Amino acid sequence: MSLYGGIEIGGTKVICMMGTDPEHILSETRIPTTSPGETLPKVITFFEPSADQLEAVGIGSFGPLDLDPDSSSYGCITETTKTGWAGTDILGPIQSVFGLPIGFDTDVNAAALGEQRWGSAQGLDTFLYLTIGTGIGGGALVEGNLLHGLMHPEMGHIPIPHDRNQDPFQGICPYHHDCFEGLASGPALEARWGARAETFSEDHPAWALEAEYVGYAVVSYILTLAPQRVILGGGVMQQEHLFPLIRSEVLEILNGYMHVPEIIKDINHYIVPPALGNQAGILGSIALARKTIGH
């Protein structure tokens, strides 16, 4: 049986998996994301006993990442604010140990790939996967290809209409203060309201405001990418009551524009949760490994 390795590198933990698809997962482990010198060797140790059975490995990582194969820092995390990780070569150490084909991309691009293969975007070639959690990021397939271009999209940092009378909160992004991530990520919710968002009741005013910000962002992506579907994942979106609020906001902000039945008649199937749930990222890394060798 063909076996693939998946590595999802997140800001708090790294998930490693060996398997072929959601029904065939051989083993899985979680490693805390501490320092590169401590975390990456543990990743390698997990795969080493089975390395000769692996056909390819997929790595989906938090970023920003250098994804340009011609660049001297290809495979590195670039200017992250996560202490100790800026400039870290992720791809090199793993490649040198295993000598296998390795797919390397953002965690959200990997998740998008997983959702296309096994989840909420099956049969689609242009769609968006957005995660709203500790940070906010978006991965997109456009006509079947993961969107890269100059580097990779950084959808969490778009400007958002911010009415300071309604919401005087300054925002928490160290670069932009009140960008989308600065206003609407999990840590932003906690900083604005003084408690963790999962402790709020469904009628807490936090949710209407959150839905408004997510609505503005999703409308921007709908208008620029024309996605066939929008998948909203991540810790904050585990609050399922947010979905109807966000769908209403999107319809209201679009105001009849983008007049397609998928949006105006069937928005419940247009803005959806990830079918792979919180496994989207790691299973997406398996999908990325498979895509790398055309399996």
Applying CB under 5 A, the residues found at the interface with Zn ion are 157, 173, 175-176, 179
Instruction: Mention every residue, 6+ apart, whose C-beta is less than 8 A from residue 199.
Output: none
Least distance CB 192 / Zn ion (angstroms): 15
Least distance CB 186 / Zn ion (angstroms): 15
Q: Quick one: 211 or 217, whose CB is closer to Zn ion?
A: 217
Q: Would you say 273 and 233 are in contact if contact means Cβ atoms under 8 Å apart?
A: yes
Euclidean distance between CA atoms 225 and 156, whole angstroms: 15
Q: What is the DSSP letter of 235?
A: S
**Is beta strand 54-61 parallel, antiparallel or unpaired with respect to 136-142?**
unpaired
Least distance CB 191 / Zn ion (angstroms): 14
Amino acid at the residue 58? G
Least distance CB 217 / Zn ion (angstroms): 12
Residue 50 structure tokens = 């089975």
By C-alpha distance, which of 73, 75, 77, 72 is closest to 62? 77
Q: Quick one: 8 or 178, whose CB is closer to Zn ion?
A: 178
Q: Quick one: 6 or 135, whose CB is closer to Zn ion?
A: 135
Q: Quick one: 55 or 154, whose CB is closer to Zn ion?
A: 154
By C-alpha distance, which of 290, 184, 163 is closest to 237? 184
Least distance CB 106 / Zn ion (angstroms): 16
Q: What is the DSSP letter of 12?
A: S
Q: Quick one: 36 or 64, whose CB is closer to Zn ion?
A: 64
